[in-house]
Structure formats: C-alpha cells, structure tokens
Amino acid sequence: MDSYFRTNREMWDELVPVHVRSRGPLGYNMEDFKRGGTALHSVELEEVGDVAGKDLLHLQCHFGLDTLSWARLGARVTGVDFSEQGVAQARTLAAELGIDARFVRANVYDLPRALDGDFDVVFSSYGALNWLPDLRAWGRLIADFLRPGGFFYIIDAHPFASVLPDEPGRTDLTFANPYFPAPGPVRIEEDGSYADPGAHLEHRVSYEWSHTLGGIVNALVDSGLRIDFFHEFPFCAWEAFAGMVLREDGYFHLPIGDGPVPFLFSVKATKPRGQVSPPRTRRTKRGTPAGVGLDG
C-alpha cells in the first residue's frame, strides 16, 4: 500500500505548482482568490451552511484554497493533505493573505496519530474518494474527529458516472465501463491535469480506487454517523465528460441538458450527541508534525 501512496504523492507534489499557475475555466485562478474570492461552489456553500465560529477539518485540502475559503467565512480551519508541496503552498498563501489557518501534512489514514483535537465540521470535496483504498477506516476516523453533534459533509464524483466512456473526444453517453469496481487499485498513466490539460508531468502514474455508492454511504453508517441527506446532481465541478460546458453557476453541464447522468453526489452525516469516540492514540503536544506516516 505504501508504494501506491508514494507514487500518488509524487504526482500530487508535481501537480501543486501546475495548479497554482492554472488559469481559465478549468484552472484554480489563484489570483482571483487572492483578491478576495471564494474557491467554494454554490452547492457546498448552501449545504454546509454557516461555519462562523466552528472548528472545521478539511481532509485532502490540496493547496488550501477551499480551506482558506471556509476561514474567510469565519471557521477555525485545519487542512490536511499528504502532499508536502500542497501543505507548503497552503501555509505560504495563508501567511501572505493574513488568514489564520493550520495545515497538517499527513496521509489521511495516519491522521489520528498526527492531529489532536475534535471538530464541529469535517469536510471533503471534489476528487477525494478515488485516492482512498479503505472507506471503512476513513469513516471511522471521520467519526472519531467529530464532536458529538458535529457533522461530516462531502461532495464528490458520483460513482455511476464512471460507467461512461472516458476516452478523449468520445461524447456518446453509453455504458462503457462496469459500475462495480474490480478489487484493488487501477493504475492510471496520463500526462496533463484536469486544471491544465496541456501541462507536461514527470510523474504521470497514479493508483486510484473506485467505490460504489453503497460502499460510501455504508462506511459512514457503520461508523455510527446518522445520514442527514444524500443528494445527486446532473453537473460536475470539472469537465467530467468530453464536451461538457461551463455555465454561470460554476458547474460543467452536458450540452444536451441536465438529466441523463448524475455526476456529483453530496452527503451530510451527523455524529449523534450520545456517541463517544474511543480514546485516540493522541499526540502529547498540540502542533503540526511534518510528514507523519509518510515513510512509504
């Protein structure tokens, strides 16, 4: 498993400067963010709601734009990512913009050993689950980091959309891949990035895991969380299918109109007030260790 994580981390480290520079409809447009914008989309803004004064943990925060956007809305934020470049860039940006934020470099699965404390909100979004092999362990650690009464929220790729053809230029809405994933990771080798398709990468290989909707929801249910809602959306935050068009709402839609396929789902799940987490193997001091569990 460590070698899969290492390969993925090398790719994400290389992607950080590519994404920091990325502009235009597919890009991260960091200059807009620096001028005071938000990197968050309308769906999560509405569905997460008011975060002012809340402690928010952002899993797989990349280089921190979403995390810092929540901070601008009044949350006390902690962003976590296993990419050294991502966390370094997030810290630099927070310092430059004078935003109070904490960033921890850790593999999600090592977080209980890397981070102390508990949170009102645990958040994750857009392209997170496909990097995680074990959703049951993921669900357990989310529940562990939540205070009783706190909630987890995720918006991510709808597993059903993976049945569509994913070859460049193919725009036929046909069933090209199985819905139920093969066991183990899929090795993917491709140049470029969703935010800058023309970029050339040295680290082009990654290992990704597919999950079913049932696997995602049951990982949360089994951790003791109570599902508040499960929503599905016929649009995406990136160009998930060839020919999708970016509309003013900030989402990519099928040119033939919304309806045929769900591209995103969201879930909100609350930790019941009576649910007490078992003691975590806590760090003795508060702080942000560098690279816990990254020896792979």
Residues that bind ligand SAM (CB under 6 A): 5, 8, 12, 60, 62, 65-66, 81-83, 86, 107-108, 125-128, 131
Are the beta carbons of 217 and 230 closer than 8 angstroms?
yes
Q: How far is the CB of 149 from ligand SAM (least distance, A)?
A: 25
Q: How far is the CB of 63 from ligand SAM (least distance, A)?
A: 7
CB nearer ligand SAM, residue 29 or residue 218:
29
Tell me how far apart the alpha carbons of residues 107 and 87 are, in angstroms, rounded to a whole number: 12
CB nearer ligand SAM, residue 90 or residue 143:
90
CB nearer ligand SAM, residue 127 or residue 234:
127
Which residue has its beta carbon closest to ligand SAM?
127
CB nearer ligand SAM, residue 42 or residue 171:
42
Give residue 171's identity as a one-letter amino acid code: T
Q: How far is the CB of 124 from ligand SAM (least distance, A)?
A: 8
Q: How far is the CB of 220 from ligand SAM (least distance, A)?
A: 18
CB nearer ligand SAM, residue 24 or residue 148:
24
CB nearer ligand SAM, residue 82 or residue 241:
82
CB nearer ligand SAM, residue 60 or residue 223:
60
Are the beta carbons of 129 and 92 closer than 8 angstroms?
no
Q: How far is the CB of 53 from ligand SAM (least distance, A)?
A: 23
Give residue 92's identity as a one-letter amino acid code: T
CB nearer ligand SAM, residue 116 or residue 173:
116
Question: Can you give the chain as a three-state secondary structure string?
Answer: CHHHHHHHHHHHHHHHHHHHHCCCCCCCCHHHHHCCCCCCCHHHHHHHCCCCCCEEEEECCCCCHHHHHHHHCCCEEEEEECCHHHHHHHHHHHHHHCCCEEEEEECHHHHHHHCCCCEEEEEEECCCHHHCCCHHHHHHHHHHHEEEEEEEEEEEECHHHHHCCCCCCCCCCCCCCCCCCCCCCEEEECCCCCCCCCCCCCCCEEEECCCCHHHHHHHHHHCCCEEEEEEEECEECCCCCCCCEECCCCCEECCCCCCCCCCEEEEEEECCCCCCCCCCCCCCCCCCCEEECCCC
Q: How far is the CB of 11 from ligand SAM (least distance, A)?
A: 8
Half-sphere exposure of 41 (CA within 13 A, CB side): 23
Q: How far is the CB of 256 from ligand SAM (least distance, A)?
A: 27
Q: How far is the CB of 89 from ligand SAM (least distance, A)?
A: 10
